[in-house]
């Protein structure tokens, strides 16, 4: 049976994504499971999540980020 990783696992993939999007500074609700992440996306990610993403991810060129978010 597949094991579901929680955000609390140090270095886990969900923790890295939450951190990349700003973590507790951006999200009012704690994101601990994939379901929490799904619900956050369904409600709409805060604008600061994109700002944090762009700040923390310097691999993409600004034009590529603009294309990815539909600007």
Q: Which residues contact 19 (CB under 8 A, 6 or more apart)?
A: 56
pLDDT digits (tens, 9 = 90+) for 2-40: 555 555 565 577 788 888 889 889 988 888 888 888 898
Residue 32: name the closest of 62, 59, 63, 5 by CA: 5
pLDDT digits (tens, 9 = 90+) for 35-44: 888 898 899 9
pTM of the model: 0.61
Coil, helix or strand at residue 25: helix
| Mean pLDDT calculated for residue range 42-61 | 84
DSSP letters spanning 3-15: PPPPTTSTT-HHH
Q: Which residues contact 15 (CB under 8 A, 6 or more apart)?
A: 7, 8, 9
């Amino acid at each position: 049976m597949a094991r579901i990783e929680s955000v609390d696992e140090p270095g886990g993939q969900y923790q890295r994504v939450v951190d990349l999007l700003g973590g507790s500074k951006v999200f009012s609700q704690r994101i601990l499971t994939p379901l929490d992440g799904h619900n956050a996306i369904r409600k709409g990610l805060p604008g600061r999540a994109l700002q944090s993403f762009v700040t923390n991810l310097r691999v993409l060129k600004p034009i590529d980020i603009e294309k990815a978010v539909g600007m």
